[in-house]
Amino acid sequence: MTPEDLRSFLAAYEAGSLQRAAAGLGLSQPTLSRRLQRLEDVLGVRLFARSHRGLEPTSYGHALARRARLIVEELELTRREIARISTAIGGSVLFGASPGVAAGLLPEVAARLEVAHPDLHMTIVEGVSESLVDQVIERRVDFAVCTAPHEASADLAVEVLGTDPFVVACAEGHRLRATPGPVPLEVLSRQPWVMPTFRGAVRHWLETRFVAAGLAPPVPRIETSSMLLLKPLLADCRHLSYLPARLVAADFPGVVALPCAPSLVLMRQIAVIRLCQRNLSPAAERVIAALRTVATAPPPIRLTGL
């Protein structure tokens, strides 16, 4: 049973005539008849009852027609997808991104690709960096764009794209914004903080800055996994948080970086992580190229002056 056999069957099914179907396919009647006979031999049933009125589908013929249409449609979609990938016109790519990177970089990446490659389709899986690296290793995603790991497996290729500082974030109208010069650590330690619930390397790094200065690290008043909730909590001019600068600039209106000591600015590296032995599709390479362009630009100016 070949795709040509199924297309020939559908032509005969819809035309109801061997002669009309053969003419529509550009085949001779004997050739079409042989294809239909081959299908019947493979399936072991009669697909048509032949009479002076033409071809009358049997119950088996009706059943095959329902399935054959789906098969032929899927084959055509597959053919188009492969053609797009081979010509690098479009194609599909599945990749992972950490939350800060997703909000801070991907809107601009998507806008660029929409102009240059409107047929390209992206599926983006969001997750923390450690989880995304595992998905790359397990081949569940083509690649990941997230914080560069301190140590990477020999099976992984890590390409650093740029930096994204973590900053102390607050509302533009927060009273500490009026503080002349950097806000002292002891003042920050007494403020109400709202923090993401995950306790990873970044959170540990921040706490050690206070401990090294002989201060108790900030105890968050609120911890949440919801970025949507963080926005109004920061906008109320009471809370502080510790977030990626690009994320704040892209997705937190009215929130800026609070001028603090340089020791409180964590410069993390954003990287594309992929398997060394895995050849990526042209579509995936185009997404990575756009990420390179966007990630090399510094964070927006309203987050500078730290």
Q: By percentage, how much of the chain surpasses pLDDT 70? A: 93
DSSP alpha helices (H): ranges in 90-225? 99-116, 129-137, 185-189, 201-212
Say whether pLDDT at 14 is over 70.
yes
Say whether pLDDT at 88 is over 60.
no
pLDDT tier at 207 (50, 70, 90 boundaries)? Answer: very high
Cα separation, 112 vs 252, in Å, equals 22
How much is the pTM?
A: 0.60
Say whether pLDDT at 232 is over 80.
yes
Q: Is 32 exposed, middle or buried (0-12, 13-18, 19+ CB in 10 A)?
A: buried
Q: What is the pLDDT of residues 263-304, one digit of tens each?
A: 888 888 899 999 998 888 888 999 999 999 998 877 654 444
**Are 91-162+268-303 and 165-267 in the same CATH fold?**
yes
Domain spanning 165-267: which CATH class is it, in words? alpha beta
pLDDT tier at 159 (50, 70, 90 boundaries)? Answer: very high
In this structure, the strands spanning 156-171 and 241-244 are antiparallel
Domain spanning 3-87: which CATH class is it, in words? mainly alpha
Domain segments of the chain: what residues? 3-87, 91-162+268-303, 165-267
pLDDT of the residue at 122: 92
Residues 94-110 have a mean pLDDT of 88
Adjacent-strand bridge partners of 124? 95
pLDDT of the residue at 304: 41
Residues 25-32 have a mean pLDDT of 88
Q: What is the pLDDT of residues 168-183, one digit of tens each?
A: 999 999 999 999 889 9
Q: Given its phi and psi angles, is residue 139 left (phi above 0), alpha (psi -120 to 50 degrees) or beta?
A: left
- Distances in Å between the Cα of 47 and the Cα atoms of 18, 68, 161 are 13, 13, 59
- Mean pLDDT for the chain overall: 86
pLDDT of the residue at 187: 95
Q: By percentage, how much of the chain surpasses pLDDT 90? A: 39
Domain spanning 91-162+268-303: which CATH class is it, in words? alpha beta
Q: What is the pLDDT of residues 236-254, one digit of tens each?
A: 999 999 998 888 888 899 9
Say whether pLDDT at 80 is over 80.
no
Q: How many contiguous H segments (helices) and E segments (strands) does the chain have?
A: 11, 11
